[in-house]
Structure 1
Amino acid sequence: MSDFDLSRIIKAYDVRGIVPKEFSARVAEAVGVAFARVVVAPEGASRVVVGRDMRDSGPDLVAGFARGVTSQGVDVLDVGMCSTDGLYFASGHLDAPGVMFTASHNPAAYNGMKLCRAGARPVGQDTGLAEIREIAQELLDDAGVDGALDGGEDAGPAARGSVSRRDLLGDYAGFLRSLVDLSGMRPLKVVVDAGNGMAGLTVPAVLGDAAGLAGLPLEVVPMYFELDGTFPNHEANPLEPANLLDLQAAVVAHEADLGLAFDGDADRCFVVDETGAAVSPSAVTALVGLREVAREKAAGRSATVIANLITSRAVTDLLGAEADVVRTRVGHSFIKQTMADHGAVFGGEHSAHYYFRDFWYADTGMLAALHVLAALGSQPHPASALADMYTPYTASGEINSTVTDAAAVTDHVRATYQAAYPDAVVDTLDGLTITHWDGHHPKWWFNLRASNTEPLLRLNVEAADHDIMTKLRDDVLSLVRKEDA
């Protein structure tokens, strides 16, 4: 039996583990064999595109994965260091399956993989990842079932695949620029916190002239652009407020118009206004969604926008008059699938993932950033005024509570609120959502959903004003924590 238990690191959407204890070059090689068999061969593809972030363990893991893929007679195109959305671009642009080696915002000891089919279509638990895990585990447990990891006679085609390299950064930057009208922008000063992640490579290419593109009317003040997978300044996870503090202070100190923060693999983008206040990802969803809808309507097409169920009601209120708004569960695999099913032009999540039809339904924080810059630069008001337009309500943010029986606690909360508010709308699309909004006073909603990986209940609350939100938040939390006590 192998020392590696892949059920610990291959989850519903990706691969994530400590190197080399849980995730080694040998594991990457086994996954490469399985990926070639499960994804590449059935699609008739001849090559796999591979990229990596700045973590020190990346080159060895990529080399192991390439050994596995090429053992099956499939070529590997190594695009080197890139952002996750840069890998999605490569997969879409070249119409090839792809793999990104990254652990996103996880600490330096971790690395992982995000896998996709040709056209950046995601590979998740129900779309091949479970089968990949099973095959890879068999290969590791049996020291190479049919010799695939050790060059045995049944390892694969007699002709191994080849490994070639190509830099696609310039193509990526040019493609993103082509999707947003940046003409007529007023000059802006923008502080960008790359968190020592891949935005240190992509921001100079997309927002600057490092990839040979024409300069934009932007003065970019760089923070932590040095690519360093040890994250010496702060965790590369802007979703945590503590990791935005440096950016917020710098925006004020530099009297900048805007601040942008990216996570480790630079697929998520967070926005800070000129006062140093964080702008809600829901506000960004509404802003970008309206821009994409307007572009569709100008072309004579109707538009659909996707939003997960814990984005602000402002998204539905503002976009609903212009487009069909479809709610979906939390999680990128759900939103990508729903977007494809509806042909949606745009999708947004509370976690600052933004998805675009014209980017193969994949998420790209950099494209969302371009939209925010274009919107701010096309009018005279400061970012705070622009954000206020898209933030009419008050939200709690996500609050976690440790529980021993999430289902029982949720049932208790549901029964309590259904008894108190019999006219409220209840749905169970993703956990429990109770809504007291349309035609009601006071206006509020909350969502309570269980974590897939931890004994936690996650609470999100929104209301028409702060006092209502605070009371509802505290009342629900009291029920959750008292019931579980």
Structure 2
Amino acid sequence: MPISGATGIQEIERIVAEGSFAPKAAVPGTISQTDVLEAYGRHVAEFARLQKPVHVAIDFANGMGIWEVKALKGLITWDGLYEEPDGRFPNHEANPLHHATLAELQAKVRAGGYAFGVAYDGDADRAGFVDERGEIIPMDLITALIAQDVLATRKGVIFYDLRSSWVVKETIEAAGGTPMMSRVGHAFIKQQMREHDALFAGELSGHYYFKDNFTAESSALAILSLANIVSKSDCPLSALIAPLRKYVASGEINTQVTRDPKAILDELRAAYAEGRVFELDGVSVEYADWWFNVRCSNTEPLVRLNLEARTAALMTAKRDEILAIIRK
């Protein structure tokens, strides 16, 4: 069961800080070890719908993807980068959200012969993707594409985090699904998925959650889902993603601030009160041709901005306008 600050983490912090642990058990417990990889592989294989071979490039970034990808053995084939485990991450940061870390994967894919490229994060619960041309695919567009495929065979609720493009909601609705917005964070998304019996959910961070995986995230299932989609199409992945590139996004912009982050949210709320304001997570405001969300970090003096508009010029203008308020 996932927990968050409101559902247990703060209580654990208090117990550790105070040293107020429960008394030792009268009878010590036992430790056992179980290798779940074989069972996980069988579970993942149940979702294979491949209609032709799919060969991909994968950047493991010296992280846990080296083991997680074994669940895909015999389903797809791959060539890898940085396949030696090393928790120091000597080659680059294991974070596909940072586009600079994708350069070597892009170069490998552009050399030719791959349906797409995959970049794992350090603990392999997130994955980023590039198309067969090596172009980076925003992770919310992967959410839209997988949702479209899920809804082709059964209808239901799909969750997406509030930083996601308008096109995600539009795609879910067009495919006959019920789009529902979630605040950022796996604990919140998993809870809401269970409450609404959701089929699938995706976050801009590259977490992809499946009802059939106990509402938990699985990078292997995300990779397999994309392979299934590509294998049954006569079009390459870039052509499947192209219709989803309707809007222009800023990406997440983090600003370290010296004044009270909550005061910044108050100022933005007042400055843009004529828009549709909602506060699912931070402050979000929607207009007819653009929207933004600003959130505070829970652990650092950071303010995070995500913004999207119908044109590049409008995105740039509004991004700079809001950053001027945040950074003054």
How far did 1:138 drift? Answer: 4.2
The answer on whether the counterparts of 1:194 and 1:224 sit within 8 Å (CA) in structure 2 is yes
Partner of residue 309 from structure 1, selected from 136, 140, 162: 162
The answer on whether the counterparts of 2:56 and 2:116 sit within 8 Å (CA) in structure 1 is yes
State the TM-score, normalizing by the size of structure 1. Answer: 0.64
How far did 1:219 drift? Answer: 3.6
- SS of 1:459 mapped into structure 2: strand
Match for 1:477: what amino acid? L
- SS of 2:151 mapped into structure 1: helix
| 1:166 lines up with 2:54 in the alignment | no
How far did 1:410 drift? Answer: 2.4
Q: Give the whole-Å Cα distance in 2 for the aligned partners of 1:192 and 1:249.
A: 12
| 1:449 lines up with 2:295 in the alignment | yes
- SS of 1:446 mapped into structure 2: strand
Aligned to 2:26: 157
Q: Give the whole-Å Cα distance in 1 for the aligned partners of 2:3 and 2:271.
A: 40
Q: Give the whole-Å Cα distance in 2 for the aligned partners of 1:412 and 1:128.
A: 32
Q: Give the whole-Å Cα distance in 2 for the aligned partners of 1:448 and 1:457.
A: 7
| 1:337 lines up with 2:191 in the alignment | yes
Match for 1:458: what amino acid? R
How far did 1:429 drift? Answer: 1.4
RMSD of aligned alpha carbons? 1.8
- SS of 1:296 mapped into structure 2: coil
How far did 1:335 drift? Answer: 1.0
How far did 1:415 drift? Answer: 2.5
Q: Give the whole-Å Cα distance in 2 for the aligned partners of 1:136 and 1:480.
A: 35
Q: Deviations over 1:8-39 (max 9, x none)?
A: xxxxxxxxxxxxxxxxxxxxxxxxxxxxxxxx
The answer on whether the counterparts of 2:50 and 2:227 sit within 8 Å (CA) in structure 1 is no
Aligned to 2:315: 469
Flag the 1:412–1:452 CA change in 2: closer, same or farther, 3 A: same
The answer on whether the counterparts of 1:329 and 1:335 sit within 8 Å (CA) in structure 2 is yes
Partner of residue 276 from structure 1, selected from 128, 134, 148: 134
Match for 2:72: what amino acid? L
The answer on whether the counterparts of 1:201 and 1:225 sit within 8 Å (CA) in structure 2 is no
1:180-259 aligned at under 5 Å gives the runs 180-184=47-51, 186-203=52-69, 205-208=70-73, 215-216=74-75, 218-259=76-117
Flag the 1:476–1:128 CA change in 2: closer, same or farther, 3 A: closer
Flag the 1:457–1:124 CA change in 2: closer, same or farther, 3 A: closer
Match for 2:279: what amino acid? T
Q: Give the whole-Å Cα distance in 2 for the aligned partners of 1:249 and 1:183.
A: 26
State the TM-score, normalizing by the size of structure 2. Answer: 0.93
Match for 2:53: what amino acid? P
Match for 1:165: what amino acid? Q
How far did 1:165 drift? Answer: 1.9
Q: Give the whole-Å Cα distance in 2 for the aligned partners of 1:128 and 1:265.
A: 22
Aligned to 2:13: 133
- SS of 2:8 mapped into structure 1: helix
- SS of 1:257 mapped into structure 2: coil
Flag the 1:172–1:393 CA change in 2: closer, same or farther, 3 A: same
Aligned to 1:267: 125
How far did 1:134 drift? Answer: 3.3
Match for 2:324: what amino acid? S
Unaligned runs of 5+ in 2: none
Partner of residue 429 from structure 1, selected from 265, 269, 280: 280
Match for 2:4: what amino acid? G
- SS of 1:190 mapped into structure 2: strand
Q: Deviations over 1:143-202 (max 9, x none)?
A: xx67x5xxxxxx2123x2222222110110110121x24231x23331000111111122
Q: Give the whole-Å Cα distance in 1 for the aligned partners of 2:302 and 2:4.
A: 23
Identity of aligned residues (%): 40
- SS of 2:152 mapped into structure 1: helix
| 1:296 lines up with 2:154 in the alignment | yes
Number of positions where the alignment pairs a residue of Structure 1 with one of Structure 2:
326
- SS of 1:130 mapped into structure 2: helix
Q: Deviations over 1:373-400 (max 9, x none)?
A: 1101111211111111222211110011
How far did 1:409 drift? Answer: 2.3
Q: Give the whole-Å Cα distance in 2 for the aligned partners of 1:136 and 1:449.
A: 28
Flag the 1:125–1:479 CA change in 2: closer, same or farther, 3 A: closer
- SS of 2:324 mapped into structure 1: helix
1:112-151 aligned at under 5 Å gives the runs 121-139=1-19
Match for 2:124: what amino acid? A
